[in-house]
Chains A and B, each alone.
Chain A
């Protein structure tokens, strides 16, 4: 491999099945989420048949959250996890809803305020790779369906590790690789044939949902992500497959 190729590889990343420049991915992902933000919740319910709510509830149960904790809901989007965390940590706790995308953050903020959840939630527009928080700040960090959109996942994991308190835990809820071959085939058919059409019909944006399907396939599988978390410094790292491995919840501690 020539130096030029090496250099090119270091500066390139995936945007779905396309190989793009690292600087380009951020803006491309941003345009996807600016486009889908308004219909994000409806599409989530439609695409997952409402099961995403159960996946998120499972994440909350696995977080071991308690009143008074400080939580970072990274790539928190429309605030599903933040809403529950806000209630569970109580008035002595704090939840920071962070997202790189302003449209998603606005939708999330409006939704939570409409539900009367105001007292312990802060909103921060932040890049997961360069979290604007002091070291050892949070008891729990969650990133649900967000890591696969991050340009440099390793750097993001290191950044999360830095802002996590010793004894704190990171929970990564993300699409993964189904365990059964038959399920994989059915899931592939659904993702590439039905999902983009659904996106076209409801959100008037089939391309964004085509990207969603492709980005899921390009995301590291369960074992690879576990190794990446360990490389970033996380300990006692485990994962739990949900719905046959369509989604996996990874958990790691900082000691």
Chain B
């Protein structure tokens, strides 16, 4: 491990620890549920990072370190898979696909996952504490309006670009055209098969006639 890697590693851990504990402090559910995993340690090896992330619960705080000695549960995975891990039913499937490797107490991993899912922050209340109720209301309304407009614009751009690519420039074929082409290919396949059978029968008849003449 080089100097820079060591410091980068510590920086990531420090930032994660601050973010998680800040989110925990702001969460409407508080530190509920942490008692059951107090002093439990979950070590996560993310393929993107290349070093262990150790999450340990200490009373109402989460400590993030690179300590990987004597963990209760170890997970080897990637960030993408970790996000998919939210759904319990997917765990077996992800393990089968070699995208997830869990060793140790699976219950600890699930309790950590539940804890992160339960984080619920009322952003409006938090923002209002800093800038006041009316600006927060105005800002929220503006945010919603912007979000609606952006969604509409995104849909409009998608529709317009589809129109341009499919109909005007004909650079891309539409779904119905692909289906129609597939049908035509199937039809041609059936007709070719029938023709092959006809030809086989004719060949047989010719061969039979030749045998009779001889």
Which residues of A are in contact with B by a Cβ distance under 8 Å?
51, 53-54, 57-58, 60-61, 64-67, 84, 87-88, 90, 240-245
CB pair B58 A88 closer than 8 Å: yes
Please name all residues of chain B whose beta carbon is closer than 8 Å to the beta carbon of A54 when the two chains form the complex: 7, 10-11, 14
CB pair B3 A244 closer than 8 Å: yes
For the A-B complex with A64-B69, A87-B56, A87-B59 known, give 16 more contacts whose Cβ atoms are closer than 8 Å: A51-B7, A54-B10, A57-B10, A57-B13, A58-B10, A60-B65, A60-B67, A64-B67, A65-B67, A66-B70, A87-B61, A88-B56, A88-B58, A241-B3, A243-B3, A245-B3
Please name all residues of chain A whose beta carbon is closer than 8 Å to the beta carbon of B58 when the two chains form the complex: 87-88, 90
How far, in whole Å, are A90 and B39 apart by their CA atoms in the complex? 7
B5-31 at interface with A (beta carbon < 8 Å): 6-7, 10-11, 13-14
Report the minimal beta-carbon distance from B37 to chain A, rounded to whole angstroms: 13
Name which residue of chain B comes closest to A61, CB basis. B66
Please name all residues of chain A whose beta carbon is closer than 8 Å to the beta carbon of B69 when the two chains form the complex: 64, 66
Whether B34 sits at the interface, judged by CB under 8 Å, is no
How far, in whole Å, are A61 and B9 apart by their CA atoms in the complex? 11
B34-88 at interface with A (beta carbon < 8 Å): 39, 56, 58-59, 61, 63, 65-67, 69-70
- B interface, by DSSP: helix, strand, loop or mixed? mixed
Please name all residues of chain B whose beta carbon is closer than 8 Å to the beta carbon of A60 when the two chains form the complex: 65, 67
| Contacting residue for A61 out of B39, B56, B59, B67, CB 8 A | B67
Report the minimal beta-carbon distance from A164 to chain B, rounded to whole angstroms: 18
Please name all residues of chain B whose beta carbon is closer than 8 Å to the beta carbon of A53 when the two chains form the complex: 14
| Contacting residue for B7 out of A64, A88, A242, CB 8 A | A242
Please name all residues of chain B whose beta carbon is closer than 8 Å to the beta carbon of A245 when the two chains form the complex: 3
If A61-B66, A90-B58 touch, whether A67 touches B39 (CB-CB below 8 Å) is yes
How far, in whole Å, are A167 and B37 apart by their CA atoms in the complex? 29
If A66-B69, A67-B39, A241-B3 touch, whether A87 touches B10 (CB-CB below 8 Å) is no
CB pair B63 A84 closer than 8 Å: yes
How far, in whole Å, are A252 and B181 apart by their CA atoms in the complex? 74
Name which residue of chain B comes closest to A93, CB basis. B39
Cross-chain pairs A/B with CB under 8 angstroms, 18 sampled: A53-B14, A54-B7, A54-B11, A57-B13, A57-B65, A58-B10, A60-B67, A61-B67, A65-B67, A66-B70, A67-B39, A84-B63, A87-B63, A240-B1, A240-B6, A242-B6, A242-B7, A243-B3
Report the minimal beta-carbon distance from A144 to chain B, rounded to whole angstroms: 14
Name which residue of chain A comes closest to B17, CB basis. A57
How far, in whole Å, are A245 and B6 apart by their CA atoms in the complex? 13
Report the minimal beta-carbon distance from B71 to chain A, rounded to whole angstroms: 10
How far, in whole Å, are A241 and B63 apart by their CA atoms in the complex? 25
Report the minimal beta-carbon distance from A43 to chain B, rounded to whole angstroms: 20
